Amino acid sequence: MCLHQVHIYVDAVINHMCSSGAGSGYRGTCGSYFNAGIRDFPAVPYSNFDFNDRICKTPSGDIENYSDPVQVRNCRLVGLVDLTQRRDGVRSKIADYMNHLLDIGVAGFRIDASKHIWPQDINAIIGKLNNLNTRWFSQGSRPFIYQEVIDMGGEAVRNYEYFRNGRVTEFRYGAQLGNVLRKWNGEKMANLKSWGENWNLMPSEKAMVFVDNHDNQRGHGSGGASILTFWNPRLYSMAVGFMLAHPYGSTRIMSSYKWPRRIQNGTVIFSSLTTSLWLLVEFIYISLLNS
């Protein structure tokens, strides 16, 4: 008898399509045609009316000032063609995709790059989602949603703007816990008695917490040098063990395979994600799962 289920949470990339410089051809999903230059994705279909080029006000069309929340949401993230989720047709296409995944049994979604989408647009998309499939879940169960919003404090886009939609990634968790276990800035483990919201973390019932993720373990994203990864096996095990034992937030752990890296004059030079093969498995521990 199967005593436990493994729930699947899909990483939904709904902010953008491909790079604006990706050209054209039959290299889309299942060999479908696209032309990034004129914003033509007929297999969806999306046309140039479904992207934010008309409302982005920067000369380049990319985000040029992260202190401007309008730019962060209406302009291209690193050149990726930016969908306009305020259009109901775009919302419906995204919801159709997510509902297909719900119908085949997924339990919820991590919404990638949520800070680059207006929170009310995410809310409208979530409102179009079906309940979970009753073959595997109880009647009326809703998808578990957590949103990727990097907010280390003082950002133009704040994590609390997204609370009504579901859980939000708490990037400060891993950064601050890393400081404690490394004993930086005079920190020590005894200080963890007050761990949680008293450390200026978001409310526990809204937080998705993790020691590291696929970005900041490679020097991307947020957290900086304090982030603990499998390259620091003793401290990393301590951090993960503490996170799983502590009641704050919903916890996510991960297992990563080593990737190539070079050391020059004592400094680690991380390989580019575009040229290095890397594999990642993420496990989400939200609650005890019963069959």
C-beta of residue 250 within 8 angstroms of C-beta of residue 209: yes
Residue bearing the bigger pLDDT, 105 or 284 = 105
CA Rg, the chain, in Å?
20
At residue 268 the predicted structure's pLDDT band, cuts being 50, 70 and 90, is low
- List 53, 62, 112, 187, catalytic entry: 112
- In this structure, what token pair is assigned to residue 259? 């990737």
In the predicted model, is pLDDT for residue 2 greater than 80? no
At residue 168 the predicted structure's pLDDT band, cuts being 50, 70 and 90, is very high
What's the mean pLDDT when you consider all of the chain?
89
CA pair distance 86, 90, nearest whole angstrom: 8
E strand segments, 160-249: 167-169, 207-209
Q: What are the distances in angstroms from CA 48 to CA 42, 44, 53, 120, 225?
A: 11, 12, 8, 22, 41
pLDDT, tens digit, 9 for 90 and up, residues 34-91: 999 999 999 999 999 999 999 999 999 999 999 999 999 999 999 999 999 999 999 9
- Tell if the pTM clears 0.95, that is, is over it: no
Pairing status of strand 167-169 against strand 207-209:
parallel
At residue 154 the predicted structure's pLDDT band, cuts being 50, 70 and 90, is confident
pLDDT, tens digit, 9 for 90 and up, residues 8-39: 999 999 999 999 999 999 999 899 999 999 99
Active site residue 53: no
Q: Which long-range contacts (CB under 8 A, 24 or more apart) does 66-75 make?
A: 66/155, 66/156, 67/156, 68/156, 69/156, 69/157, 72/115, 72/116, 72/156, 72/157, 73/115, 73/116, 73/117, 73/118, 73/157
Tell me which residue has tokens 């994705």.
Answer: 41
pLDDT of residue 216: 84
Percent of the chain topping pLDDT 90 = 77
Active site residue 112: yes
CA pair distance 177, 188, nearest whole angstrom: 10
Residues 6 or more apart whose CB falls under 8 angstroms from that of 283 comprise 252, 253, 254, 255
In the predicted model, is pLDDT for residue 283 greater than 50? no
- List 50, 82, 121, 148, catalytic entry: 148
- In this structure, what token pair is assigned to residue 9? 């949470």
Question: Within a 10 A sphere around the Cβ of 143, how many other Cβ atoms?
Answer: 21
- Return the axis-axis angle of helices 119-126 and 88-103, rounded to nearest 10°: 50
